[in-house]
Structure 1
Amino acid sequence: MKLLDGKWVSSVILEEIALEVSELKNKYNKIPHLAAILVGNDGASETYVNSKMRTCEKVGMKSSLIRLEAEVSEKILLQEVDKLNQNPDLDGFIVQLPLPKHIDEQKVIRAILPEKDVDGFHPDNIGKMVLNMPSFIPATPFGILQIIEKYNIETSGKHCVVIGRSHIVGLPMSILMARNTYPGNCTVTLTHSKTKNLKEVCQSADILIVAMGKPEFVTADMVKEGAVVIDVGTTRVPDISKKSGYAIKGDVKFDEVAPKCSYISPVPGGVGLMTVTSLIKNTLLAAKSKL
């Protein structure tokens, strides 16, 4: 069993990005610029955005943060999106999700110019991804692809089972693993809460990608010997032994499943670290596309 070390993959890719950023600055006097709009003061969203801003600084990119009150109207938020769309210095930006319930998330996502949509959620980018055309890939699936690639995991002809059909992870992941490319060329089964015989389906997986948000749902009897297991789950579970009062658990019962795997990603320390890295990489790609 080998661990899929997201921290190592992230560090390698960030070094590559930092080198390219330096080259862009020296050759074109261009520094890639990422912005984020943060609505309200949700603790998790605040943590994610701050991590993105710090990573920008680490690789030599510029970053901007626009803070809006939780009560902000949809109209005002869309005006802020338009300002960023029109800003020629800005290469990419995100609107941190989730948004307050009075705001239509899809309307906001559609308002972002596809060429600045480094989250990869705009319908234009999703459509291009389906057609295997150049596009921004959603950050978490993009991160998983990069982990698979860095570890040279064979995917062609393999049976990949994805648990979870969210538009952020599960659905795009199933499309990416089926595309005629590497990583890809898998036979893909996309499963979800209504799937019958889920245990039996998982047992047939050469590659199992779990993104459902149910801590320790996948147990050893659901995984076949030698499978590659990629755990996208991150759920806070009460734990009085921790200073924080909680532990982060993945969707896979790691201690039980790991001995059966050829590769497995830990939580924390696996896919989560790659999400921010992929967003930064998308921003670099956006900057290079304008040169």
Structure 2
Amino acid sequence: MSAVIMNGKALAERIKGEIANQVLNMNKKPALGTILVGSDPGSIAYVDGKHRDCAQVGIKSIKMNLPDTATTAQVLSAVEELNKNLECTGFIVQLPLPKTVDTEKVLLAIDPNKDADGLNPINLGKFALGTGSIIPCTPKAIIALLNEYKVKLPGANVLIIGRGTTVGRPLSILLSQKPSNATVTLAHSATSNLPELIKNADIVVAAIGSAHFIKVGMIKTGAVVIDVGITRTREGLLGDVDPQVALTASVFAPMPGGVGPMTRAMLLTNLIELAK
């Protein structure tokens, strides 16, 4: 068996083409703001990619870059500036923030009506209740990929490894809600029977940031595997899943080229939603 490889780049390009057409027909062009704190190469590359996406589809973009030494008060000031900026339709604060910055305070300060990432506690609460229109970007990207490749979700046994606030926890909610109706297990550092859970899962989503943690012999034959993690190593950027997993999986979303491009595309769809 050789897995079908999920092409997140191709799907993202198609979605961006649809967004470009929508933007052409909008009276007021939307604008995306970004707040980047520090000089992490991965974060810089990711934010730069978001601005390239905006330029590609005709969306304006507003950059706010702060140094590694920025305080919580300085980041909050930047958030407030974008909250009040009438040109800015929505914005994101690039995570993770430096440890010296209070992430919870920063996310709480974002105007829920401008929260393009869907990470303000009010929007997360609405999302958990199934009443929100803004869905966190990475979980939204994963669902879009699963649907595009016609992966059956109702009743599927899904294992999510990693309980972070940007991927694991919101994805577990999204997959268990209608219409996905999957049976979801959320594994974490205290999970005692992880090898057994991996072997029994129909769908495995790895979001832990541990290079090539999932090996080819760990999954059951025919499982669907989604690689979300990313780790900087001497060999370069590596995902949580060894690419050899594609030898026994039925469908595989690799890193890079799978979830990443789709996450950026979903950010643009959220911005269009905020512009309505």
List aligned pairs for 1:114-263, cutoff 5 A.
114-181=112-179, 184-239=180-235, 246=236, 248-255=237-244, 257-263=245-251
Deviation at 1:276, TM superposition (A): 1.2
Residue-by-residue CA offset, 1:108-154 (whole Å, 9 max, x unaligned): 10000111111111111111111111332111111111111212211
AA partner of residue 180 (structure 1): K
Q: Distance between the aligned counterparts of 1:73 and 1:228, measured in 2?
A: 42
For 1:15, the aligned partner's letter is G
Aligned length, in residue pairs: 274
Alpha-carbon distance between aligned partners in 1 of 2:147 and 2:172, rounded to the nearest angstrom: 16
For structure 1, the residue ranges without an aligned partner over 5 or more in a row are 240-245
**Aligned AA for 2:23?**
V
Partner of 1:242: none
* CA–CA separation in structure 1 for the residues paired with 2:212 and 2:67: 36
Letter in 2 for 1:13: I
Secondary structure of 1:41 counterpart: coil
2-structure distance, mates of 1:140, 1:105? 18
- Normalising by structure 1, what TM-score? 0.90
Structure 1 segments (4+ residues) deviating >4 Å: none
Q: Is the 8 A contact 2:221 2:249 kept in 1?
A: yes
Question: Which residue among 242, 263, 269 is the counterpart of 1:275?
Answer: 263
Tell me which of 45, 49, 69 is aligned to 1:47: 45
- Give the one of 47, 64, 88 matched to 2:86: 88
Instruction: Provide the secondary structure at the position in 2 that maps to 1:261.
Output: coil
Aligned Cα RMSD in Å? 1.3
Distance 2:42 2:156 in 1: 35
Contact 2:62 2:88 in 1 (8 A): no
CA distance in 2, matches of 1:249, 1:198: 21
Cα separation, 2, equivalents of 1:148 and 1:251: 18
Shift of 1:88: 2.2
For residues 199 and 44 of structure 1, the distance between their equivalents in structure 2, rounded to whole angstroms, comes to: 30
Q: Which residue of 2 aligns with 1:265?
A: 253
3-state SS in 2 of match to 1:79:
helix
